[in-house]
Chains A and B, each alone.
Chain A
């Protein structure tokens, strides 16, 4: 009897604790970031406008919209799908702070998985520092997956919705394994669903997800194109090569849940991933300098990301017709000489 009381009390405490943790998780607000939009900004909204269920949660994030004065297609550029792939994040920040859209429309999300921006992996910084004309600024250096505080526990195995494709359990928190998302799924799936809604509602013509990989990875310095978009990827590779930038090209694999694969298959958008080489993603990150690595400095990686975005937009204009015309961005040479900070506000 006494034992039974203890068990009931214990169980009640566990339920109470779980409820408190759950409420705490649900109530954790989205992280704020120091992003200072430039003259090109038309509108700033929360991603939750496309799927209200994520409003106020840790995965809600800012969406920056830049309209051109001339008509044209809509391009979506994502940084921070993985919070530790900093070159994509900084390229997206530069787009928000510097780009002027002459035609078409540019939608930029610098911290796509905002929850992943809130914690760093072992041996890696929690933020990077940039000296800018307005003083020192700091940018979050996060992790690959949604913060476990916001979504746990991981299942033993994660089954992709709607295909049932099996991933290891921790991938339930990897945004780039859960596309196109699920409205009543876990928080990361809800985030993916919000992005899918945005792509559909805004009739996105081209979506580019900016990533990084370890310097020894096959993926480093690569464009990955959805199967229907390989001709655009090939044209971008040729145009980049003409300007002295060597990128590899691959077609999306049959693995499910990746942005380029799911958006390419399930929406009219041409979908791509761009990968540069980040020493912070090497197998051994001891002493990794994610900003000033001599072989792959951040200035160079961000330059590659921006050049590749522009090459893909040019290829889209050439093959599909309709231009997202962007000006105001620093060139690779300017970034190399002056650094990213010189072009931040």
Chain B
């Protein structure tokens, strides 16, 4: 009897989980949104300039965002790309940054927040720790906005297919801002 109850409970959890997943996947990015970094490269500064100064989207930027920063947030934009220098300036190492990002994106999913993965750093922000962070964010992101130079090996195509995410590949860095803005329209 107990065994049956457990099976039913697990099944319910699975079904709810699937519905939540489907629900999240179909959600378009909406305001309010929050911009954060995974890897502490200066790419977040560049995306911030594009979204807020050029496109006036009024999206706050918190490079080291934590779960409590997500209160009331509907969309989390994660700019992925590792900079050891950036990590050093923030007083972090890759393990600490990985733990922060993992905890943040998991919490975002629990809260039904739409996650947008952004990769603008090209080949310089690929491989090693950058790919480690990409593999952390990609499974929970519904949308990827990627500058072509960073997708020469089609990693983001493969991840998008595996995770049923929508991939938007843009030619240049300058195209990334308008592409992100379009997701909200």
Residues of B within 8 A of A235 (CB): 49, 53
How close is A234's CB to chain B, nearest CB, in angstroms?
4
Please tell me if B46 contacts chain A, counting CB pairs below 8 Å: yes
A250 to B85, CA, bound (A): 8
Complex A-B: 23 CB contacts under 8 Å:
A227-B89, A230-B45, A231-B49, A233-B45, A234-B48, A235-B53, A237-B49, A237-B173, A238-B46, A238-B49, A238-B50, A238-B174, A241-B174, A246-B173, A248-B124, A249-B45, A249-B46, A250-B85, A251-B42, A251-B86, A253-B89, A254-B88, A318-B53
| Contact between B42 and A234, CB atoms less than 8 A apart | yes
Cβ contact of B89, chosen from A231, A242, A248, A254, cutoff 8 A? A254
Please tell me if B26 contacts chain A, counting CB pairs below 8 Å: no
Residues of B within 8 A of A231 (CB): 45, 48-49
| Contact between A249 and B88, CB atoms less than 8 A apart | no
Contact string against A for B residues 161-176, beta-carbon threshold 8 Å, 1 for contact and 0 otherwise = 0000000000011100
A238 to B177, CA, bound (A): 10
How close is A268's CB to chain B, nearest CB, in angstroms?
21
Please tell me if B58 contacts chain A, counting CB pairs below 8 Å: no
| Contact between A234 and B45, CB atoms less than 8 A apart | yes
Residues of B within 8 A of A254 (CB): 88-89
User: How many cross-chain pairs have Cβ atoms below 8 Å apart between A and B?
Assistant: 49
A237 to B42, CA, bound (A): 11
Q: 5 new A-B pairs (CB below 8 Å) besides A230-B45, A237-B173, A253-B85?
A: A241-B173, A246-B173, A249-B46, A254-B88, A254-B89
Please tell me if B158 contacts chain A, counting CB pairs below 8 Å: no
Residues of A within 8 A of B174 (CB): 238, 241-242
Which 9 A-B pairs give the minimum distances between C-beta atoms? A234-B45, A234-B49, A249-B42, A241-B174, A241-B173, A242-B174, A234-B46, A235-B49, A230-B45
**Which residue of chain B is the closest to A227 with respect to CB atoms?**
B89
Residues of A within 8 A of B86 (CB): 251
Known: A235-B53, A248-B124, A318-B53. A253 touches B88 (CB 8 A): yes
A276 to B46, CA, bound (A): 20
A241 to B121, CA, bound (A): 13
How close is A213's CB to chain B, nearest CB, in angstroms?
14
A169 to B120, CA, bound (A): 39
How close is A224's CB to chain B, nearest CB, in angstroms?
10
How close is A308's CB to chain B, nearest CB, in angstroms?
15
| Contact between A238 and B173, CB atoms less than 8 A apart | yes
* A-facing residues in B50-96 (Cβ within 8 Å): 50, 53-54, 83, 85-86, 88-89
| Contact between A238 and B42, CB atoms less than 8 A apart | no
| Contact between B46 and A237, CB atoms less than 8 A apart | yes
A241 to B46, CA, bound (A): 11
Residues of B within 8 A of A250 (CB): 42, 83, 85
Residues of A within 8 A of B42 (CB): 230, 233-234, 248-251
Residues of A within 8 A of B89 (CB): 227, 251, 253-254
Residues of B within 8 A of A319 (CB): 53
Residues of B within 8 A of A251 (CB): 42, 85-86, 89
How close is B28's CB to chain A, nearest CB, in angstroms?
25
How close is A340's CB to chain B, nearest CB, in angstroms?
27
A231 to B45, CA, bound (A): 6
A336 to B48, CA, bound (A): 33
A317 to B40, CA, bound (A): 27
Contact string against B for A residues 304-345, beta-carbon threshold 8 Å, 1 for contact and 0 otherwise = 000000000000001100000000000000000000000000
How close is A265's CB to chain B, nearest CB, in angstroms?
13
* B-facing residues in A220-258 (Cβ within 8 Å): 227, 230-231, 233-235, 237-238, 241-242, 246, 248-251, 253-254
A319 to B49, CA, bound (A): 11
* A-facing residues in B7-62 (Cβ within 8 Å): 42, 45-46, 48-50, 53-54
How close is B46's CB to chain A, nearest CB, in angstroms?
5
How close is B21's CB to chain A, nearest CB, in angstroms?
35
A133 to B174, CA, bound (A): 38
Contact string against B for A residues 167-191, beta-carbon threshold 8 Å, 1 for contact and 0 otherwise = 0000000000000000000000000
How close is A318's CB to chain B, nearest CB, in angstroms?
7
A251 to B88, CA, bound (A): 11
